Structure 1
Amino acid sequence: MIIPIRKATDCSSSQISGNTEIMEIVDSSPLDKMFNAQKAAFMANPMPSAKERISHLKTLENGLMKYRKKLTNALDDDFGCRSEDESLLAEIIPAVENIRYIRKHVKKWMKPSPRKVGMLFQPAKAMVIYQPLGVVGIITPWNYPLYLSVGPLAGILGAGNRSMIRMSKNTPATADVLKNMFQEFFDEDHVTVMTGDEGSGSAFSGKPWDHLVFTGSTEVGRLIMRAASSNLTPVTLELGGKTPAIINDKFPMKEAVLPIAFGKIFNMGQTCVAPDHVLCPRLRINEFVEHFKKSVKKMFPTMLNNPQYTSIINSQEYERLQEMVADARSKGAEIISVNPAGENFENTRKMPVTLILNTTDEMKVMQEEIFGPLLPILPCDSLHEAVNFVNNRPRPLALYYFDYNQENIDYVLTHTHSGGVLINDTLAHVPQDDLPFGGIGESGMGQYHGHEGFLAFSKAKGVMMKSRINSGKLVYPPYGNIVHRLAYKLFLK
């Protein structure tokens, strides 16, 4: 097969090619074969109708509903213990609701948007049409492998595109179930899943996608962006970071602690928007600790053999978290293990939630995204001090603020930058279908969900139409006639 194609390089290449040339495509791997098949299929149907898109979204929903038990079982297998309730609440229900929301609104979103034409260019009309991009790649992380593949996919399908999904090697069981689901419900030239060694990360990110979505660490995000730049591929990067939770001095501590504890324990803190650290009024830290212990005990009186208490994904992540605790302890931090039943977690990948007090900037827990059940508690003397602390660090994916005073809330909203903000709760802003989700700075770029997702995966093409009467001819050279003089007088007065 011979078609125009932009040259691609992988992550390790130092060359950047912006050339377009006619070259023969050799289907040398499953990745190449599927990519080329999707490109050809898109060219055969570059503008699916609203009816087609709604049908595709309904098919996706049907697949999830049929496979939901297999998916929750697979997630449990991959984590060693993944709460079925957490899988339903964090992955399947938000994915299904997102699909239904897009299905309900996509016909309206697809309509051309009329725009105004300047008086100088009348008579004419202008509009913006929303055109599918083509073939969109998705690189999925291990922490929410279902929601972070199907979530962007719903927006991609709603915008009329085709997609290939690269699953994490850390969740092989979930990847296999998703692959089987898509093989049953979709043609491979429409949606396909790459698992295991199929399409390595560097090869996948180096393809000339029409758009690439990546969720993962900031460090890897830089590599993805570098690989994508060789093809000038636009990217959406959702990268996480160190999400702060700020508690106002006058806020009821019990009401702040419970959602913070939930946000930290949910999926064992392996969430890009989990509270990473708490900025707590200095004189109320002991109060925070006591309420935190009570909140954890209420939710998880036992942990070790509790199927609702999720494990750390693998031994490598477990050891990383243990090293963080050891590093903090060796540098003078106070370590408080919240273990209501006093259980022994040796030889498991479960670990108790751990509060860390008296931290310093030299500790790993204050330098790296924690991504686990460790929670530094930092003393703070004023809201102004808390805001300065946030602003002096990389911009986070989320920010949580606990206060009922609207003036203070407005101050935080207007004086900090983050991907999103949630007032008086944690995590709940992510599955809101009518809110955009995405980072800023080191926490990412671009956004999707809802209408913003449709726009992200569409080309907003400006179109202007002239009628049989074309007034533009009146300003053609030679210049200096009465029309030019009149125009200058009218528009430059």
Structure 2
Amino acid sequence: MTDIQRLLHSQFQQLNRTFLAEPYLPIEQRISILKQIKNSLITNEQALVAATSKDFGYRTAFDTVLGDLLPTVKLISDTIKRLPKWARNESRGVGISLWPSKAHINYQPKGVIGVIAPWNYPIQLALVPVITALAAGNRVMLKVSEFTPHTNEIIKDIFSGELAAHCHIVEGQSEVAAAFSELPFAHILFTGSTTVGRKVMQAASQHLTPVTLELGGKSPVVILDDVNIKSVAKTLLFGKLNNAGQICVAPDYVFVPKKHEHQLLQQLCELYKQHFKDGVEGKNLTSIVSDSQYQRLKSYLVDAEDKGAQIFKPLEENQYDDLKHRLGLHILTQVNDAMNVMQNEIFGPLLPIMSYESLQQVIDYINSHPHPLALYIFGHDKERISFVSQSIRSGTLAINDVLMQVTADQLPFGGIGESGMGHYHGIEGFKTFSHARNTLVSGKFNPRTQLLLKQNKLLITLLKWMYLRR
């Protein structure tokens, strides 16, 4: 066992002892914990805005408040409101064969939950699963991203003092993450790439630890032919440039009817010039998080152009800032699957556009690739929308919108296939981090036991008549 493994194991054991000493926290105490976290986030708003901006090189306050702080605080408020109802025993029927017993489901905390957070939303994607796990009565170990050290400092401060007994923060690079995944958690939630998700699942299998994987992939946009193209372009521009496109549910590529392709391209360029007229020198564009990610995106552009893509830059200048790793919008047409930009999740402000003649062509293409985390459909014909949505499997679906489906507190969030497994948010998150215990309650009067002990023929005849007939 390495020093890192010994340290993490010791931290895990300490949290586990705390859990075992009080394995069912009263609901009032859980709510008190959530309120403390909420108050700390509100108090530290400006500090968190400044910290995330340092971590990214530059990040707009808009992206941090809208994408990180608001969803997290909103979810805490909603969880506080609904937790007493979620935690109640859930009555279930038992049928005549188990009369006069009664049954219910009792939601038990699982134990110590492991959460591995990514860098792109270092507040929301770290704290939302933590909050949900704490609401379910668990203790948590949170592995924060090594790429957001300034934000991590504030998160560590939030979980100092008495909250340290409920959530322990772990920092470190890949070797720490690997050792973290091997701990005998009661459940582990990982947010990140599909490649790393496979490794987390493999490590968790050593202890038969259940996993929730929130991955990503290429989320397609399907535009039908009855839309207002300018309105669609506005929505796409917001979805692609929010957090500089560094979002797991960002629109990754667009299918547009051939007759609308030129108009969509034109509208995207005009709207970009209007809202981002200063390009990378403006204060409303977030930086790419690191130079390595920035160079990856630039290499996608070179690769795509070499393989025949046309690349449109809405601005002639201010499209690149190599020093601060900032990148303006790039629209790509005439793309194909040989290009890196069409093989990998983009995670940046590059937007491939493909035209189509028939919807079946679009459906066949999307279904020939791994299931996306998000599917976006723009249109107003209910039958055609239904046809597309029922023909394609995806983790989430938004119609005439982008990104916002993730912020709906009462909707489960999760992927399917290579875009993930399992859910959190809302009551589904509470249930993910709880053990639904089957509970049968029999009272003093229970003639069934005596009849079963005697292998009573009348009882068997009655049960056969009830259940073994066509």
Decide: shared fold, TM above 0.5: yes
**Cα contact 1:176–1:195 (8 A) shared by 2:** no
Q: Counterparts in 2 of 1:137-152, with a 5 A limit?
A: 137-152=114-129
**Residue from 440, 443, 449 that aligns with 1:464:** 440
Alignment partners' CA distance in 1, 2:461 and 2:324: 84
Q: Counterparts in 2 of 1:205-284, with a 5 A limit?
A: 205-284=181-260
**Cα contact 2:256–2:354 (8 A) shared by 1:** yes
Superposed displacement of residue 340, structure 1: 6.5
Change (3 A) 1:346 1:479: closer
Change (3 A) 1:212 1:490: closer
Change (3 A) 1:195 1:487: closer
**Residue aligning to 1:32:** 9
Superposed displacement of residue 466, structure 1: 1.1
**Residue from 61, 81, 93 that aligns with 2:58:** 81
Structure 2 residue identity aligned to 1:142? W
Superposed displacement of residue 35, structure 1: 1.0
Superposed displacement of residue 91, structure 1: 0.3
**Residue aligning to 2:93:** 116
**Cα contact 1:63–1:182 (8 A) shared by 2:** no
Change (3 A) 1:342 1:71: closer
**Residue aligning to 1:292:** 268
Q: Counterparts in 2 of 1:109-188, with a 5 A limit?
A: 109-184=86-161, 186-188=162-164
**Residue aligning to 1:3:** none
Alignment partners' CA distance in 2, 1:86 and 1:163: 27
Structure 2 residue identity aligned to 1:295? L
Q: Does 1:388 align with 2:356?
A: no
Query: Can you list the C-alpha shifts for 1:443-470, whole angstroms capped at 9, x where unaligned?
Result: 0000110111111111111100111122
Change (3 A) 1:306 1:126: same
**Cα contact 2:246–2:347 (8 A) shared by 1:** yes
**Residue aligning to 1:434:** 410
Alignment partners' CA distance in 2, 1:332 and 1:359: 7
Superposed displacement of residue 275, structure 1: 0.5
**Residue from 281, 295, 303 that aligns with 2:279:** 303
**Residue aligning to 2:48:** 71
Alignment partners' CA distance in 1, 2:34 and 2:163: 14
Q: Counterparts in 2 of 1:263-412, with a 5 A limit?
A: 263-339=239-315, 342=318, 345-412=321-388
Query: Can you list the C-alpha shifts for 1:34-78, whole angstroms capped at 9, x where unaligned?
Result: 211110111111111111111111011011112221111110001
Larger mean Cα displacement after TM superposition, 82-91 or 169-178: 169-178
**Cα contact 1:475–1:484 (8 A) shared by 2:** no
Change (3 A) 1:364 1:40: same
Alignment partners' CA distance in 2, 1:350 and 1:454: 38
Structure 2 residue identity aligned to 1:205? S
SS in 1 for 2:160: helix
**Residue aligning to 1:13:** none
Superposed displacement of residue 345, structure 1: 2.8
Percent identity for Structure 1 against Structure 2: 38
Change (3 A) 1:192 1:274: same
Alignment partners' CA distance in 2, 1:188 and 1:362: 49
Alignment partners' CA distance in 1, 2:112 and 2:227: 48
Alignment partners' CA distance in 1, 2:173 and 2:288: 23
SS in 2 for 1:277: strand
Alignment partners' CA distance in 1, 2:274 and 2:184: 51
SS in 2 for 1:451: helix
**Cα contact 1:34–1:189 (8 A) shared by 2:** no
**Residue from 37, 54, 71 that aligns with 1:60:** 37
**Cα contact 1:91–1:144 (8 A) shared by 2:** yes
> How many aligned residue pairs are there?
469
**Residue aligning to 1:23:** none
Larger mean Cα displacement after TM superposition, 480-489 or 386-395: 480-489
Alignment partners' CA distance in 1, 2:226 and 2:327: 33
Alignment partners' CA distance in 1, 2:110 and 2:387: 39
**Cα contact 1:328–1:365 (8 A) shared by 2:** yes
Alignment partners' CA distance in 1, 2:5 and 2:373: 39
**Cα contact 2:226–2:381 (8 A) shared by 1:** no
Superposed displacement of residue 271, structure 1: 0.4
Query: Can you list the C-alpha shifts for 1:423-443, whole angstroms capped at 9, x where unaligned?
Result: 101111111101110000000
Alignment partners' CA distance in 1, 2:114 and 2:423: 15
Query: Can you list the C-alpha shifts for 1:190-211, whole angstroms capped at 9, x where unaligned?
Result: 1121123597011101101111
**Residue from 361, 380, 391 that aligns with 1:415:** 391
Which protein is richer in helix relative to its size? 2
**Cα contact 2:5–2:179 (8 A) shared by 1:** no
**Residue aligning to 1:44:** 21
Structure 2 residue identity aligned to 1:76? S
Alignment partners' CA distance in 1, 2:173 and 2:412: 33
SS in 1 for 2:184: coil
Superposed displacement of residue 413, structure 1: 2.2
**Cα contact 1:53–1:160 (8 A) shared by 2:** yes
TM-score, length-scaled by structure 2? 0.96
Change (3 A) 1:192 1:300: same
Superposed displacement of residue 488, structure 1: 2.5
CA RMSD of aligned residues (A): 1.9
Structure 1 residue identity aligned to 2:134? L
TM-score, length-scaled by structure 1? 0.92
**Cα contact 2:57–2:324 (8 A) shared by 1:** no
Structure 2 residue identity aligned to 1:129? N
Change (3 A) 1:39 1:86: same
**Residue aligning to 1:485:** 461
Query: Can you list the C-alpha shifts for 1:223-258, whole angstroms capped at 9, x where unaligned?
Result: 010001111111110101000011101211111111
Alignment partners' CA distance in 2, 1:344 and 1:149: 30
Superposed displacement of residue 478, structure 1: 5.4
Query: Can you list the C-alpha shifts for 1:135-176, whole angstroms capped at 9, x where unaligned?
Result: 111101010011001111111111111111101111111112
Alignment partners' CA distance in 2, 1:346 and 1:480: 83
Larger mean Cα displacement after TM superposition, 403-412 or 222-231: 403-412
Q: Which runs of 5+ in 2 are unaligned?
A: none
